Structure 1
Amino acid sequence: MLTPEHLHALRNLPLAARQAAEGLLHGAHASRRKGAGMEFSQYRPYQPGDDLRRLDWRLAARSDRYYLRESEIDTSLTVHLVLDATASMNHQDDNGLSKLDYARLLCAALAYVATQQGDAVALTVLHPAGLQHLPPRADPRQLPRLYHMLETLRAEGTFPDRSTLAPLTARRQPGLIICLSDLYEEQDEIMRLLTRLRAASGDVLLLHLLARNELEFSFRGAVTFQDLETGRTLQLDADQQRSAWQTHLHEWLRSTATATRRQGFDYYQLSTAEPLDRALREFLRQRTTRMA
């Protein structure tokens, strides 16, 4: 798998999404199952209890054997991508890649994989000024629309309030919701949203994005940190505070994972320095479980 830096350096989101996903999709089974659908697939011998309306009487007359016509019917899923595009997603790792850059690549790759599986894909971008929403579709023109929306978005402001989010939670559409966020919040507003989405739509896969320099606290010496959403600043000696930072961070990550799974979400922590394949494999695993 290519690194996120290499994919981002392509400056071509459709190409990056395809390159990230193609190796993963190699050998993957198509999203179809046998049944009484519209597209003919094969014959199989008649068995007692089978629907006689599916019997091929012309073949029986020619061969004196009884066969049923089996068809393939599509098994598709509605995949709803929900992307946190608040200002904290502008945080950059040491490689120059921001959380938003990584989320943009991952959303594009997830949409590409879902489309290849025959799924309908939707995208909602969370902004404080309002929601950007692309309704679900399963046609070839959906990916270019989605790529354009991802390429032009900017991260800004704080997490939208409940009234702004109301149109999103009012939609009752069964499917798989995949939320990409750094979970930077003031008072559990992201968790409350996901709880309402799960009640309205079904399963929720939460992809928690963190930069490697956050996880490792790789800063050195005297550092001034600025809260990207409030503008507040904090000055400290990174070398002296590293141990305390990491202890606090690991406690928060542990409690976050526990709380989200208790709510019934599937939670995965991702570093913006790692390839996209782990998140893509988890999507395919969840999809296979739902389609079984």
Structure 2
Amino acid sequence: MSSVAHLRTRAQIEASRFPALLARAEHLAGTVLLGDHGRRRAGLGDDFWQYRPLRAGDSFRQIDWRRSARGDEQFVREREWQIAQSVQMWVDPGASLRFSSHKDLPTKADRARLVALAAAVLLIRGGERVGLTGWDLPPRRGDAQTLRLAKYFSDEGEDDYAEPESRGMLPNAKALFVSDFLGDVAPVEAALTKAADRGVRGVLLQVLDPSEEAFPFNGRTIFESVNRTLRYETLKAGELKERYLERLAERKARLDHLCRLTGWQHFTHHTNNTAQSALLWVYRALDGSQG
């Protein structure tokens, strides 16, 4: 096959991925019944939200006399807060996420992209602006934006581990970082520190394969990175389990501590659990990280 034909074939394969990803994300978003987004609260805006009883401190000019005339109590007409929030996302494109320990399990990358895009679908439906960190895709609304996000999420990096992109983060925005966070933790610390300095609060979703949590290896084992740039062979894999689990626990504790210092939240999701469980946590965490 010529180089041109090979490139065309690869381009067609890559182009076919993001419409399918978007369809799955929209289906996943549709299975999660969350009601109205958390931005619905009293404040400045044009749309009617609710009536509530008159409280101490309210102005008489706020009273809705037509509604109050129906009974003995006086009611205030509240309008919905209309300020849309910007949410910026980073989904790790590194090769380490293209790992799955079993043919019946999704890769970490597949689960990371699916949950992030489904969260974007829900947020955009709720009136929020969603985009990427960095400069390539600023936060916007609309169905066209979810298609753009699907395209970017389908891109794959060449390195085993990617560093979080923290440039272009808008002051006081929210953020979602999705990765296995098994690479160098220093860039993660730098990104969250920079985000916190700009008033950005967000969530770290750590996606792991169940084998990475259980370490079910014994005897002669060859450990190799997805890109085959790292390789380690041992005859006694079982003797590494305790030390490995200690290192993993230390990494999780470090991420937890970092999130507490910067006002973020950290959650570990395993690919043998449902995507809905991860989506619910992400959506509620983003909604709860306001202010």
Same fold (TM over 0.5): yes
Residues 1:156 and 2:151 aligned together: no
- The 8 Å contact of residues 224 and 235 in structure 1, kept in 2 or not, is answered as yes
CA distance in 2, matches of 1:260, 1:178: 14
Q: 1:18 to 1:246 in 2, by over 3 A?
A: farther
Cross-structure match for 2:128: 119
CA distance in 2, matches of 1:133, 1:273: 32
Amino acid aligned to 1:280 = L
Q: Structure 1 residues 214-223 or 13-22, which shifts more?
A: 214-223
Equivalences for residues 212-227 of structure 1 within 5 A: 212-218=210-216, 222-227=220-225
SS at 1:93 equivalent? coil
- The 8 Å contact of residues 59 and 65 in structure 1, kept in 2 or not, is answered as no
- The 8 Å contact of residues 93 and 272 in structure 1, kept in 2 or not, is answered as no
Residues 1:142 and 2:150 aligned together: no
Q: Could you state the TM-score of these two structures normalised by the residue count of structure 2?
A: 0.75
Cross-structure match for 2:106: 97
- The 8 Å contact of residues 77 and 176 in structure 1, kept in 2 or not, is answered as yes
SS at 2:23 equivalent? helix
Cross-structure match for 2:277: 278
Amino acid aligned to 1:31 = R
User: What's the offset of the Cα at 1:160?
Assistant: 5.9
User: What's the offset of the Cα at 1:81?
Assistant: 1.3
Q: Percent identity?
A: 25
CA RMSD of aligned residues (A): 3.6
- The 8 Å contact of residues 219 and 237 in structure 2, kept in 1 or not, is answered as no
* Equivalent residue in structure 1 for 2:200, among 199, 202, 207: 202
- The 8 Å contact of residues 260 and 266 in structure 1, kept in 2 or not, is answered as no
Residues 1:107 and 2:116 aligned together: yes
Measured against aligned partners, the alpha-carbon deviations of 1:20-44 in whole angstroms (never above 9, x if no partner) come to 2323225456631234521134555
Q: Could you state the TM-score of these two structures normalised by the residue count of structure 1?
A: 0.75
Cross-structure match for 1:246: 241
CA distance in 2, matches of 1:208, 1:60: 51
Measured against aligned partners, the alpha-carbon deviations of 1:244-292 in whole angstroms (never above 9, x if no partner) come to 3332232122212222222224221221222122322222332443458
Structure 1 unaligned blocks of 5 or more: 1-8, 125-130
Greater fraction strand? 1
CA distance in 2, matches of 1:135, 1:73: 23
SS at 2:254 equivalent? helix
Q: 1:41 to 1:184 in 2, by over 3 A?
A: closer
* Equivalent residue in structure 2 for 1:133, among 124, 133, 136: 136
SS at 1:137 equivalent? coil
Q: 1:122 to 1:138 in 2, by over 3 A?
A: same
